[in-house]
Amino acid sequence: ERIAEDNGIDATEADFEDQFRRLAEQSNESVRKVRAQLEKNNQLDSVRNYIVERKVLKLVMDNAKFKDVPFDFGKQAVASAPY
């Protein structure tokens, strides 16, 4: 949420329409029926959250800097917890 707020990311009407279209294709239903079902079941907030989450992940991945580092087999990759 914080990244979305800081970057002015929100779901637009076009984003909703795109998501409704995707869901309609997956379920072999009309876009109108999918939208009506989501509205009836009060799930538009869930759709909005999904859209915003997807946009935030895209922003993070687009701005991530990756560095290839060779794996050192001599070091333990994960520290074990004492029992």
Which pTM was predicted?
Answer: 0.75
CA distance 23 to 34: 7
Burial of 35 (0-12, 13-18, 19+ CB in 10 A): buried
Contacts of 52 by beta carbon, 8 Å cutoff, 6+ apart:
4, 9, 10, 11
pLDDT tens-digit series, residues 24-80 = 999 999 999 999 999 999 999 999 999 999 999 999 999 999 888 888 877 665 656
